C-alpha cells in the first residue's frame, strides 16, 4: 500500500514538474515570442514581459471556447507594469525576427460590461467564464467583451437576430459565428496554453497532503504568477 502511494505521488510530482518546465520553456510559443521574453536587453530597458494564456484559470468545459474566442491573442505577450511607447517599440523591433503580438497593461481603458442575454444554451459572456490575475481583468474585457459562449453551432443559428448582430458567438467545440456573418470552423490551436493553471491546480490538489514536492495551497485559493496579486 505504501509503495503504491509513493508511486502515485512520484507520478503526480513528475507530471507537475514537466508541466512547469513546459511553461518555463514557453512550449507552443513562436521562436519570436520566446526570444523576446528571454532577451536580456529587454530587461535592461526596465521592462518585464510575460504571456497571457498561462495566467488564465479556465474551467475545462470552456477551454476550447475560450481558446477560439482569444484567437491569435492566445499567444499575446504582456507588459504587466508598463504601457507601450514608440521608444520601447523602436528598441525591441530589431530583436524580433517573427511576428509577435504585444500589449502594455498600463493605461488600458475599462470597458463597461453590457447586460448579457440569457436563455437556453447561452452559457455566458466569455470574459465571465475565465479567472485571471486582477491586473489582467481589463485586458480580458478588451479581448472578450464581444464574445458570448453557447453550447452548440445549432444554438448559435437559432438565437434571435438581435443577439447574433450584437455578439460573436463561440461554441463549446470552438466554432465561431462572427456578428459579421463569418463562420470559423475546423480544428483549432491546442487549448494547452489556457489549460495550464487548471492542470497545475489539479495535480497539486491530487498530491498527498504530506507531499513536500510542491507548494501547498489552501482549498479554493489560486496561486498567481509572481508578477501578480490575486
Which pLDDT score, from 0 to 100, does residue 208 have? 61
Percentage of the chain beyond pLDDT 70 is 84
Q: DSSP state, 54?
A: G
Strand (E) or helix (H) holding 21: helix 2-24
More confident residue, 149 or 219: 149
pLDDT digits (tens, 9 = 90+) for 16-74: 788 777 777 677 777 778 878 777 777 777 788 888 988 899 999 999 999 999 988 88
Pick the closest to residue 32 from 103, 101, 98 (CA basis). Answer: 98
Which pLDDT score, from 0 to 100, does residue 67 have? 93
Give the phi and the psi of residue 3 in degrees, each rounded to 5: -60, -40
Lowest mean pLDDT among 62-71, 111-120, 157-166, 200-209: 200-209
Instruction: Check: CB of residue 209 under 8 Å from CB of residue 5.
Output: no
Which pLDDT score, from 0 to 100, does residue 167 have? 95
Which pLDDT score, from 0 to 100, does residue 230 have? 35
Which pLDDT score, from 0 to 100, does residue 210 have? 41
Confidence of residue 6 (pLDDT cuts 50, 70, 90): low
Pick the closest to residue 196 from 164, 228, 224 (CA basis). Answer: 224
**In the predicted structure, residue 218 carries a pLDDT above the cut 60:** no
Ranked by mean pLDDT, which of 20-34, 99-113, 154-168 comes out on top? 154-168
Which pLDDT score, from 0 to 100, does residue 9 have? 73
Which SS3 state, helix, strand or coil, does residue 226 take? coil
Q: Tell me the average pLDDT across 87-114.
A: 86
Which pLDDT score, from 0 to 100, does residue 116 have? 85
pLDDT digits (tens, 9 = 90+) for 172-206: 999 999 999 999 998 776 667 888 888 887 888 87
Amino acid at each position: 500500500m505504501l509503495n503504491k502511494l509513493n508511486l502515485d505521488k512520484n507520478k503526480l510530482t513528475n507530471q507537475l514538474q514537466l508541466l512547469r518546465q513546459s511553461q518555463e520553456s514557453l512550449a507552443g510559443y513562436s521562436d519570436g515570442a520566446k526570444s523576446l521574453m528571454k532577451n536580456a536587453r529587454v530587461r535592461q530597458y526596465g521592462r518585464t514581459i510575460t504571456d497571457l494564456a498561462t495566467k488564465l484559470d479556465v474551467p475545462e468545459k470552456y477551454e476550447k471556447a475560450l481558446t477560439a474566442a482569444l484567437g491569435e491573442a492566445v499567444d499575446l505577450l504582456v507588459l504587466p507594469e508598463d504601457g507601450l511607447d514608440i521608444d520601447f517599440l523602436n528598441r525591441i523591433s530589431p530583436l524580433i525576427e517573427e511576428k509577435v503580438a504585444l500589449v502594455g497593461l498600463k493605461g488600458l481603458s475599462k470597458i463597461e460590461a453590457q447586460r448579457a442575454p440569457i436563455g437556453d444554451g447561452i452559457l455566458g459572456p466569455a470574459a465571465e467564464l475565465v479567472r485571471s490575475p486582477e491586473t489582467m481583468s481589463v485586458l480580458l474585457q478588451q479581448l472578450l467583451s464581444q464574445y458570448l459562449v453557447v453550447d452548440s453551432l445549432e444554438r448559435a443559428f437559432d438565437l434571435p437576430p438581435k443577439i447574433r448582430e450584437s455578439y460573436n458567438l463561440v461554441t463549446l467545440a470552438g466554432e465561431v459565428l462572427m456578428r459579421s456573418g463569418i463562420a470559423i470552423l475546423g480544428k483549432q490551436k491546442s487549448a494547452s496554453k489556457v489549460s495550464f493553471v487548471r492542470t497545475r491546480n489539479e495535480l497539486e490538489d491530487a498530491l498527498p497532503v504530506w507531499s513536500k514536492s510542491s507548494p501547498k495551497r489552501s482549498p479554493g485559493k489560486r496561486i498567481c504568477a509572481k508578477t501578480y496579486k490575486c
